[in-house]
Amino acid sequence: GPGFDPESVRRDFPVLHRTVNGHPLVWLDNGATTQKPRQVIETLAGFYATANSNIHRGAHTMAREATEAYEGSRAAVASFLGAASPDDIVFTRGTTEAVNLVAQTWGRAQLGAGDEILVPVLEHHSNIVPWQMIAKERRARVVPVPLLPDGQIDRTAFADLLSYRTQLVALSHASNVLGTVPAVREMIALAHRYGARVLVDGAQAVAHFPVDVQELDADFYVFSGHKLFGPTGIGALYGKPEVLAALRPWQGGGNMIDSVEFGRTTFAPVPHLLEAGTGNIAGAVGLHAAIDWLTSLDRTAVTAYEKALTEYAVAALATVPGLELLGSAPERISVLTFTVAGYDPAAVAEWLDRDGIAVRAGHHCAQPALRHYGVESAARASLALYNTRREVDTLVASLHSMQQGV
Ligand code: PMP
């Protein structure tokens, strides 16, 4: 293939060339959100400058063009995820809204007293709390699937917990705090043997490796545009066609109806059924640009580059006295969550910020995962394809100087 050159990719990202506190920015908070290439920024600005219109309403040229752009993005998301049809894709605000949509539609219709939802301990709060909410309403139970010491899901425990009470397994394709990439395809196949559905949270996966929902046999797959070099406020839900077709409406309003009468209202088919009101049209167009940008790269080479960079970072961080990485599973993305003995994680992040290095400190919306390691808070350096060994060296040098008090 054409290979991968991080330096040439960096030129696409204007923000990577700014300084923070007098130092060149080192953006290592990609798990929270990724930066945007100029192709996405220019597409967003161009939409508002030349093409802004609402969609599906009024037969004028710009409404038709905006409709085509919106539906074109849906088709791009479908092919990006390996879905069979654009109709299998529902636009949402992001991962969180997509999980809530499934909980409030599929969950409300499907869950009954005593039913179980299996959720690995490492999940993001947005893949725990919506299930707790609907489980309470339906008198179902959310059952945690334990982790092994290295941060992998305990597959033996998972197999033991599965039963004919299991209605759903909700698990992430890559953990935002431990970086763990579980054997999702095998876990889905096992869950299906019990007739359970599986929702895969791809928020941290899609920027790091190619995804094929049909190959995984996922029932639902969700992600956020802003972690994929795209805009905030746009994301997607993939659902198997037969599963989506059975869903009742969620929010009511324009765009999701066929005909409205006070006596009786009829509805549009999915995906429009689940997209009440004016969507994030510019966001969808920007997401399409992000997908085009990412898929124009040699993704095999990108994944290999990130893997080598992660190995380099793990080795470099090991030179910092008292630094402990959370999670050491072999299958992982470039997320490095750590504690430094004697330092509050917030103070670590503050120190690094003075050197222009952006890392996140806190619980990372995954408190059960941190508590598995006996901590309430940690620092996290999450790398993207535009990060370099030089930036890893800057991070490690700053951590060394923190300990030397200089
Ligand atoms: N799941 C995972 C694994 C995540 O990393 C995140 C974002 N940190 C979310 C869900 C939530 O995504 P959003 O806030 O974009 O809805």
- The atom number, within ligand 1, closest to the CA of 174 reads 3
Query: How far apart (Å, rounded) are the C-alpha atoms in residues 205 and 211?
Result: 8
Distance from C-alpha of 384 to C-alpha of 201, rounded to nearest angstrom? 18
- Res. 118: pLDDT tops 50: yes
pLDDT at 340: 97
Please identify which of the residues 63, 365, 375, 397 carries the catalytic annotation.
365
CB-based burial of residue 238 (10 Å sphere; 0-12 exposed, 13-18 middle, 19+ buried)?
A: buried
Q: Give helix then strand counts, H and E, for the chain.
A: 15, 17
Bridge partners of 339, per DSSP, are 324
% pLDDT > 70, the chain: 99
Q: Whose CA is nearest to atom 4 of ligand 1?
A: 203
- The confidence score (pLDDT) of residue 1 equals 47
3-class secondary-structure state, position 302: helix
Give the pLDDT score at 405. Answer: 84
What is residue 56's predicted lDDT score, i.e. its pLDDT? Answer: 76
The C-alpha atoms of residue 4 and residue 6 are separated, in whole angstroms, by: 6
172 CA: nearest ligand 1 atom = 3
The amino acid at 66: A
Q: Is the pLDDT of residue 361 over 80?
A: yes
Q: Residue 98 CA: which ligand 1 atom is closest?
A: 16
Retrieve residue 14's tokens: 């204007």
Mutate to test the pocket of ligand 1, among 102, 176, 364 (most ligand atoms within 8 A of CB): 176
Q: Say how many Å lie between the CA of residue 127 and the centre of ligand 1.
A: 8
Model's pTM, two decimal places?
0.98
Ligand 1 mean position, distance from CA 64 (Å): 33
Q: What is the pLDDT of residue 193?
A: 98
Contact assessment for residue 34 and residue 229, using Cβ atoms and an 8 Å cutoff = yes
Q: Would you place residue 2 in the very low, low, confident or very high pLDDT band (cuts 50, 70, 90)?
A: low
* Pocket lined around ligand 1, Cβ cut-off 6 Å: 94-96, 124, 126-127, 172, 176, 201, 203-204, 224, 365
Reply yes or no on whether the pLDDT at 91 is more than 50. yes
Taking only the tens place, the pLDDT of each residue in 274-307 is: 999 999 999 999 999 999 999 999 999 999 999 9
Residue nearest to atom 6 of ligand 1 (CA): 203
Ligand 1 atom at shortest distance from the alpha carbon of 201: 1
Instruction: Give the distance (Å) from ligand 1 centre to CA of residue 365.
Output: 8
Pocket test for ligand 1, best of 96, 125, 184 (most atoms within 8 A of CB): 96
Query: Which of the listed residues 99, 101, 123, 124 should we mutate to test ligand 1's pocket, taking the one with most ligand atoms within 8 A of CB?
Result: 124
Over residues 126-160, the pLDDT tens digits come to 999 999 999 999 999 999 999 999 999 999 999 99
- pLDDT of 402 strictly over 90: yes
From residue 300, alpha-carbon distances to 33, 98, 297, 304 in Å are 22, 28, 9, 6
pLDDT of 15-29, one tens digit each? 999 999 999 999 999
Which has the closest alpha carbon to 94: 237, 200, 221, 213? 237
Q: How far is CA 293 from CA 39, 44, 93, 215, in A?
A: 7, 14, 21, 23
pLDDT, tens digit, 9 for 90 and up, residues 313-350? 999 999 999 999 999 888 999 999 999 999 999 999 99
Average pLDDT in the 190-210 region? 98
Ligand 1 midpoint to CA 221 (Å): 13
| Mean of all residue pLDDT scores within the chain | 96
> pLDDT category, 59, cuts 50, 70, 90?
confident
How far apart (Å, rounded) are the C-alpha atoms in residues 72 and 55? 12
Is 365 among the residues known to form the active site? yes
Q: Residue 357 C-alpha to ligand 1 middle, in angstroms?
A: 22
Distance 406 CA to ligand 1 centre (A): 36
pLDDT at position 406: 73
Q: What pLDDT is recorded for position 220?
A: 99
Show the beta-strand stretches assigned E in 77-233.
Answer: 89-92, 116-120, 141-145, 166-172, 197-201, 220-224
ipTM: 0.98
